[in-house]
Amino acid sequence: MSHYEVIVIGGGASGMMAAGRAAQLGKRVLLIEKNKQLGEKLKISGGGRCNITNAEEDIRVFLSFYGKAEQFLYSAFTQFSNKDTFTFFEGLGLPLVVQARKRAFPHTEKALDVFKTLVRYMEQSKVTILANAKVTAITGENAAIKSITAGGQTYTADSYIVATGGVSHPETGSTGDGFNWLRDLGHTVAKPTPTIVPIAIKESWVHSLAGVSLTFMKITFFVDGKKAFSKTGKLLFTHFGISGPLILNSAAQVGDLLHTGEMTATIDAYPDTDHGALEKKIISIFDANKNKNVKNIFDELVPHGTVNAILSLLPTLDPDTKVHSVTKEQRKQLVHLLKALPLTVTGLMGFDRAVIADGGVPLSEVDTKTFRSTKVTNLFITGDLLHITRPSGGFSLQLCWTSGYISGSNA
């Protein structure tokens, strides 16, 4: 039976950070990972670019993105904030760059480089890594963990950090194992739901646009015909519905509303232009192209890549009609359509497509100054195992860096 001062279970973002930090402070650390390689989810994060954090400078504004968890996280973020993330990675030779919506990426825009930097951090501080070793048992006694069994061997430690992640992207190994162990150890575990996830849409015109991305769109959601909320941003059409930052950051609210009535939505393709101004714009394009067929000028009227789909929503307008023959009524139909493209929401996509899922241990059962369990004296809990809802845009990984660093410092 091998003994370590700190054992970290889970070799993802928060686990690697925690292991590296504990070892940097002189502890003998073992990191156990069930996959053959560490960091499988980290390597695909941000579409392979890795949205490493968000550069919002006002800490109160930053923490407001964590919803109800905001009040619990002030102490943690005074110890390791998003500014410290910049200092940490740049100090290890990985410069960061800030892009739209204050999202920060590695300068190379390669998630693999973030992974390599964390591996180097662990190597420098001499973390022992045991990969391809599934934890099969965690034994507890007197409100403390006594030992764990992994890969057929039993290990003991003074402190244990569970950093196995939640249930989003199960193909990377995030299958909720940690939730089961924590429940067995006496913790409450809120049932996870996919919160940062694409939305399934009924209409075939949406599916026909799979792969088309629109930069500045406004989407408004309705329940039983009554407006619920609106958001503006970047949207991506897929073969099952809609995705992209605008949609991912609307999904949690949509999920809450789905059970309350029939849910529909409209997309405003020109959110900065009112109906009157849009009609004037269309009239000027029509006047300049009177003798052309409608289909030949449609690309000037609608978002790029959407011509055929939007024409399909105008059954009274023959694409081969000459522009000068378009009636006033047909023109007004087009204006109305571009300001309110119709959608029927059929649901949220599942955990397999989720960027982030919430659920996990409530923060009332964790000392967020240290991320130590209040129920198991030598246990620390990090990252996606904590029941915190957060948007895309770097906030999920920042939670991993903060909780990993602080738990590693205190374990």
Query: Looking at the predicted structure, is the pLDDT value of residue 159 above 80?
Result: yes
Assign 168 a pLDDT band (cuts: 50, 70, 90): very low
Query: Looking at the predicted structure, is the pLDDT value of residue 171 above 70?
Result: no
Determine the pLDDT at residue 172. Answer: 47
Residues 306-331 have a mean pLDDT of 92
Residue 193 structure tokens: 């739901």
Residues 20-51 as b or e (16 or more Cβ within 10 Å = b): bbbbbeebbbbbbbbbeebbbbbbbbbeebbb
Where in the chain are the domains? Answer: 2-192+357-410, 198-349
CATH code of the domain made up of 2-192+357-410: 3.50.50.60
- Taking only the tens place, the pLDDT of each residue in 38-74 is 999 899 887 788 999 999 999 999 998 888 899 999 9
Query: Looking at the predicted structure, is the pLDDT value of residue 169 above 50?
Result: no
Assign 358 a pLDDT band (cuts: 50, 70, 90): low
Determine the pLDDT at residue 131. Answer: 96
**Contacts with 217 (C-beta within 8 Å, 6 or more apart), sequence order:** 232, 233, 234, 235, 246, 267, 268, 269, 271, 303
More confident residue, 165 or 408: 408
- Taking only the tens place, the pLDDT of each residue in 72-92 is 999 999 999 999 999 999 999
